[in-house]
Amino acid sequence: MTPIDDLLIEPGRRDAVEYLERINTTTRGVAVLDALAEMIERAGLGVGDRIPPELSLAEKLGVGRTTIREALNRWEGLGIIRRRRGAGTFLVARVPSSRGHAPTMIRLEGEALLRLMEVRRALEREVVRKATMNAHTAQRRQISRLCDVLIDDVDARRPWRKADAAFHGAIYEASGNPMFGQILLSLDHALERSAESPFGRDGFGIASFPPHRTLADAILDSDVEAAVAAINQILDIVEGEIRAVIAGDPSLA
């Protein structure tokens, strides 16, 4: 450690890197992420705390700096850390306990999605409210028709993502403010999911589709209160599934 590093450690507090042990496994990417999560827990690091430098992490774990950098890039993409040039890397979100039924990486993805859901809920409620108030007759009928297509695809177990995007896109357009659609579409791509992530599978969120019909009917009927209640129900279902995956529900993992 450099003298500067020494100054950044509180008196009487062990450097977080001391909680790491050398990794001997072929699945180093996953092992590094697990080790970092355990280090943060054992060292008692929280939001705002700096994590050890890449070189220290690499040396202690016995892996290359590229492996450490890839792991930290993954965390940065999930909104867990933030790099500050010349200052280091800092935690900006809570890291869930390394103990649990679900793998650490899945729990981290789930926590990131829950943070994203807070933002999405505020935006979705407003866009649905505006769409229900502002849509003209042709737009209301189009939203209802696209909902029929979506539900048919889901019921027939056909790929449904394109139909889902078309349905929600029609609602965004009907709101009269194109910025809503742009922001919400950006949120969909904000978090990089791992290849094995249960949050990217077709079965994830499937229980939220029946209320889509309620939402479409409310917009068709210009019923703002019912439309907002429907989008809240949809988001509640998705959030519940995220929490179930984090808790290790085997039917959703």
Coil, strand or helix at 13: coil
Query: CATH topology of 3-91 equal to that of 104-246?
Result: no
pLDDT over 70 for what percent of the chain?
83
Please state, in angstroms and as integers, the Cα–Cα distance from residue 38 to each residue in 9, 21, 145, following that order. Answer: 19, 11, 50
Q: Which CATH architecture has domain 3-91?
A: Orthogonal Bundle (1.10)
State pLDDT tens for residues 37-50. 889 988 999 999 99
Q: What is the pLDDT of residues 158-173, one digit of tens each?
A: 999 899 999 999 999 9
- Over range 207-232, report the average pLDDT: 97
CA atoms within a 13 Å half-sphere pointing along the CA-CB vector of 133: 11
CA distance 211 to 221: 15
Report if pTM > 0.75: no
Superfamily of segment(s) 104-246: GntR ligand-binding domain-like (1.20.120.530)
Q: Among residues of the chain, what percentage have pLDDT more than 90?
A: 51
For the chain, the domains span 3-91, 104-246
